[in-house]
């Protein structure tokens, strides 16, 4: 926490971006190296994210945070035990976000990008709970990419554009 406060002071008088993306990668490697347990690395990553929530309001210029948490590729290749550990973290995390004092005090809107239909129902329910609890907020935007795939996102965006164009414009 002391290092983060120091970083805030160092960048305080410099122009900051309004949107920051954070790729939450390396938790397994860190857990194996420091805790001798890959799965506990995910728990440590969750703790770091919770600390960041308290700091976000101090970074006044940065209003949008996008967290890349769990890709479609990881869903396909990770062992069931690891996925179940992540599902437990996601469920607890989103349930906590729905009632988090800092989230509500600072009006942080929670959004999730990705194919959450591929997640267990209890995790989807927790996600929906956090989204619904914060849907009217506009001070900060916390985007979580879960079961996302960059290529799939581009294809889906193009399909939406084509559908919109076909509905809006007549090509006669």
Q: pLDDT per position in the chain (172 positions), as tens?
A: 567 677 777 776 777 789 988 888 777 778 778 877 777 778 788 888 888 888 888 887 899 999 999 889 888 999 999 999 999 999 999 999 999 999 999 999 999 999 999 999 999 999 999 999 999 999 999 999 999 887 777 787 788 888 888 887 655 5
φ, ψ dihedrals at 87, nearest 5°: -60, -40
Structural domains present in the chain: 8-168 (3.40.1180.10)
> 74 an active-site residue?
yes
Residue 34 annotated as catalytic = no
Q: Report the largest interatomic distance among the alpha carbons of the chain, rounded to a whole angstrom.
A: 66
Q: 């970074």: which residue's tokens?
A: 59
In the chain the first and final C-alpha atoms are separated, in Å, by: 62
Among residues 74, 102, 143, 149, the one annotated as catalytic is 74
Sorted by sequence, the CB contacts under 8 Å of residue 115 that are 6+ apart come out as: 72, 147, 148, 149, 152
């Amino acid at each position: 926490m002391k290092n983060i406060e120091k970083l805030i002071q160092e960048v305080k008088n410099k122009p900051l971006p309004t949107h920051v993306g954070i790729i939450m990668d390396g938790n397994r490697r860190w857990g194996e190296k420091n805790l001798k347990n890959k799965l506990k690395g995910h728990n440590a990553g969750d703790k770091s994210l919770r600390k960041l929530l308290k700091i976000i309001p101090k970074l006044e210029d940065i209003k949008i945070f996008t967290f890349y948490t769990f890709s479609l590729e990881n869903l396909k290749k990770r062992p069931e035990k690891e996925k179940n550990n992540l599902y437990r973290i996601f469920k607890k995390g989103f349930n906590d976000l729905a009632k988090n004092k800092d989230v509500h005090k600072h009006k942080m809107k929670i959004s999730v990008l990705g194919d959450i239909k591929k997640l267990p129902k209890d995790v989807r329910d927790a996600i929906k709970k956090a989204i619904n609890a914060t849907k009217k907020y506009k001070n900060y935007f916390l985007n979580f990419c879960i079961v996302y795939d960059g290529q799939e996102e581009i294809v889906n965006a193009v399909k939406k554009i084509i559908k919109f164009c076909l509905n809006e414009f007549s090509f006669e």
